[in-house]
């Protein structure tokens, strides 16, 4: 993200390199990967509906073990096969299609997401105005929208969008959120909605395992000279957490693989921190650490 020269840094002392404890897979992703690996240990292949995680390096690792990424359009031709549902969850239509075509589902939907889906179904009535803070097209959001059959629904991403909605203050109004959104953004959207509909019911559906990482990550980034943030380019959570690092430490750099590191970034650094998203595997952060260590070893020698 910062086009600097790629010369190796000069150093007489090897820096201290630390991986943030507030980084790496959340429990939902851990479970999905474990389900996939357990199945692949006994079968030659497994279909997965979409990328199992928004990290290309981890997807490639699992593809080498037999994971096959498919789309919803592929389901009709997979009669008799087994398909993994990833942590993001799916709409009811996916389960119906699987039943129709005789597909066995391995459901690794995150329990936090499933609870949110259930809460949305419970208030799905024609008179309801439902606001969902989320990213349009994100798989979790697609799964959540699939639960709604009757309510009027608005997907929003900023407080400004809430201010512009054609809301009726006299109708029952609910606010839910994609589980991985930032708490500060959620609070801003809450204030914007309450200014329009004071009686709106606010459902805080953020995943605390994700949101609780933010203050820890901020302190970690502030304690380092440089932060190397490792995440997939498609990771919404990665972009959000990287912004936390940048706010704490302007010398924060986003990479998706070790080869993207530009050594001039590390010039003069004695404390180098490595952090990642909830979709970043621990092994990839360890690989980045080893890559940096190897280069400093050669510089010092």
What are the residue numbers of the active site?
A: 140
Long-range contacts at 114-120 (CB < 8 A, ≥ 24 apart): 114/89, 116/144, 116/176, 116/179, 116/205, 117/89, 117/143, 117/144, 117/147, 119/176, 119/203, 119/205, 120/144, 120/147, 120/148, 120/176
The answer to whether the CB of 147 falls within 8 A of the CB of 91 is: yes
**What does residue 222 show for φ and ψ, rounded to 5 degrees?**
-70, -25
- Kindly tell me the sign of the dihedral angle through the C-alpha atoms of 239, 241, 133, 208: positive
**What does residue 49 show for φ and ψ, rounded to 5 degrees?**
-80, 95
How do beta strands 252-255 and 271-276 pair? unpaired
Distance between CA atoms of 118 and 123, rounded to whole angstroms?
A: 9
Of 16, 2, 55, whose CA–CA distance to 253 is shortest?
A: 2
- Kindly tell me the sign of the dihedral angle through the C-alpha atoms of 29, 31, 37, 40: negative
3-state secondary structure of 154: strand
Distance between CA atoms of 56 and 165, rounded to whole angstroms?
A: 36
Q: Where are the alpha helices (DSSP H) in 177-272?
A: 183-196, 208-211, 213-222, 236-248
């Amino acid at each position: 993200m910062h086009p600097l020269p790629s010369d190796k840094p000069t150093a007489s002392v090897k820096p201290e390199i630390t991986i943030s404890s507030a980084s790496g897979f959340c429990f939902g992703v851990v479970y999905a990967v474990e389900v996939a690996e357990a199945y692949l240990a006994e079968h030659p292949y497994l279909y997965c509906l979409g990328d199992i995680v928004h990290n290309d390096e981890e997807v490639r690792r699992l593809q080498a073990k037999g994971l096959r990424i498919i789309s919803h359009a592929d389901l009709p031709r997979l009669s008799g096969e087994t398909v993994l549902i990833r942590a993001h969850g799916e709409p009811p239509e996916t389960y119906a299609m699987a039943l129709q075509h005789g597909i066995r589902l391995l459901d690794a939907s995150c329990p936090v997401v499933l609870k949110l889906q259930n809460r949305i179904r419970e208030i799905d009535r024609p008179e309801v105005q439902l606001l969902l803070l989320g990213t349009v097209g994100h798989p979790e959001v697609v799964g959540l929208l699939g639960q709604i059959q009757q309510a009027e629904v608005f997907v929003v991403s900023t407080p400004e969008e809430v201010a512009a909605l054609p809301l009726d203050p006299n109708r029952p109004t609910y606010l839910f959120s994609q589980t991985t959104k930032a708490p500060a953004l959620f609070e801003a959207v809450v204030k914007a909605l309450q200014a329009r509909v004071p009686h709106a019911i606010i459902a805080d559906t953020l995943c605390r395992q994700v949101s609780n990482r933010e203050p820890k990550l901020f302190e970690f980034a502030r304690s380092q000279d440089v932060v190397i943030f490792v995440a997939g380019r498609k990771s919404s959570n990665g972009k959000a957490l990287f912004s936390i690092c940048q706010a704490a430490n302007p010398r924060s750099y986003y990479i998706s693989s070790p080869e993207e590191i530009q050594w001039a970034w590390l010039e003069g650094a004695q404390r180098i921190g490595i952090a990642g998203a909830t979709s970043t595997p621990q092994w990839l952060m360890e690989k980045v650490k080893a890559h940096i260590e190897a280069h400093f070893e050669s510089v010092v020698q």
